[in-house]
Structure 1
């Protein structure tokens, strides 16, 4: 079943225009969902707006948006007044600038969408824009109105289609310094870094999202199946919380051993402690630094 588009409009590069549509990259169709039930009757419940002062339910026709202008004072804004506000990016995304995608800091990347032509007539123009971006290895910057908000976006080639990722506004993003400035500068022993990098080198893998597994969702499904079948749900004991490492050097060495990578069988670099012992042996010394005694 073809997913319903999240937005339909036009993509524009100078005088070249094509009809396009956005499709959500992600789906929650397979996630476990719950309804709220009245425990006494077993019936589903529905939400209802209640007047904060009178305590009485508010009918749908009397619900209206209010913009706060003073304490307990609001400017009423009707739905048709909002609908009457129109800007170009509501229906057309104009590619007004081009950047190297790597120049965009990850903290500004928000939500991804698939971008595709919405009709056969637009496929040729769409392909021209897509292939031109691919040829220059560039991404286009545009603006789009989604869910009544204008959002900056970056558009890049992706296979036969394109990927649009909405961007966060600068004034909505906390700068790293506001969080990281409190972290003290720490002098780290080079040998400990070598031990840690050895673990990283040996555990390097290829990115494969098919390996991702939602263990909580699986546990929840197993619990539901057991309860539905009248079986006692499995008891899952919480895993112990880790504590701060006291001796970091020993912890790194134990990590190497526990991962079975204390020795490099592939002919790569050995961990520092092994290398140091080998070097000492070649120099006729004990690993601790003293001279080896002859027999």
Structure 2
């Protein structure tokens, strides 16, 4: 099934326009969602619009309100809201280019794949992709869509381009208030060396396929078993990962780091000893 484009238009860089199509880069199928069911009848539960002290009401009597103070609302009808919605535009103007490292990870919200709309757009598309890659920049612009304006960043991704919806400044909590009580002192040099050694030993290339949501996997197994169990109750204990120890407190950080580093060395040595070439039987080692 061909996925429907989220947006069709053109990316404009000065006098250059590149026809493109944008598609969602993520999907929600990995999660497990539930419906509330009335057990005696087996039918899904629906919700009524209810006003405290009045009861169920007609949906035609509902308007939107913004709370300006406790219990005080400014009411707006649909025409008033529609009047301020922005007209959807078919052009994304790249107005600024910034270093990729200048955008904090907190501002990234949702990614989309950007592909050339036709063969004629490919040359300009590739030029823009390589220019962004060589300069290590992200192109910024604002996309008017569905009545609202989104701040977006455009950056290279493999053979293509990815458009990231970015949060506005007022949507991000400032970190300073959360880290206020964290001391700014320098760590012990020996502890830092051990920590860096441990990080080096555990370093590798990121592959998302190496990680799984064990809770979702367990839920899917329970659902599959339940479907075959004909109403019988099915319980499955997910358990904790093998290296999680409840109630353990690290008292000596130096000893813990040394044990971690030494443990990695021992495991590596054991792995090397484990796959010897097949030879004639030898005397048993003490």
TM-score for both structures, normalised by structure 1:
0.76
2:196 alignment partner in structure 1: 197
Cα contact 1:108–1:168 (8 A) shared by 2: yes
Aligned equivalent of 1:235, options 231, 237, 248: 237
2:256 alignment partner in structure 1: 251
Call closer, same or farther: CA 1:160–1:103 in 2, change over 3 Å. same
What's the CA shift string for 1:214-248, capped at 9, x where partnerless?
11111111222232332743334456535431111
> In 1, distance between residues paired with 2:110 and 2:247?
33
Cα contact 2:153–2:163 (8 A) shared by 1: yes
2:5 alignment partner in structure 1: 5
> In 2, distance between residues paired with 1:257 and 1:109?
38
What's the CA shift string for 1:60-82, capped at 9, x where partnerless?
x3333223356645444333443
Pairing 1:175–2:166 present: no
Q: Matched residue of 1:258: which SS?
A: helix
1:114 alignment partner in structure 2: 113
Residue pairs, 1:130-209, within 5 angstroms: 130-146=129-145, 148-186=147-185, 188-209=187-208
> In 1, distance between residues paired with 2:120 and 2:40?
58
Cα contact 2:24–2:111 (8 A) shared by 1: yes
Call closer, same or farther: CA 1:151–1:110 in 2, change over 3 Å. same
Give RMSD over aligned pairs: 3.0
Call closer, same or farther: CA 1:260–1:9 in 2, change over 3 Å. same
Q: Tell me, which stretches of 5 or more residues in structure 2 are unaligned?
A: 271-286
Task: Give the structure with higher Rg (CA).
Answer: 1
> In 2, distance between residues paired with 1:11 and 1:161?
14
> In 1, distance between residues paired with 2:122 and 2:186?
57
Per-residue deviation at 1:142? 0.3
TM-score for both structures, normalised by structure 2:
0.78
Q: Tell me, which stretches of 5 or more residues in structure 1 are unaligned?
A: 266-295
> In 2, distance between residues paired with 1:146 and 1:244?
51
> In 2, distance between residues paired with 1:48 and 1:119?
48
Structure with bigger strand share is 2
Call closer, same or farther: CA 1:131–1:195 in 2, change over 3 Å. closer
> In 2, distance between residues paired with 1:139 and 1:89?
23
> In 2, distance between residues paired with 1:121 and 1:78?
45
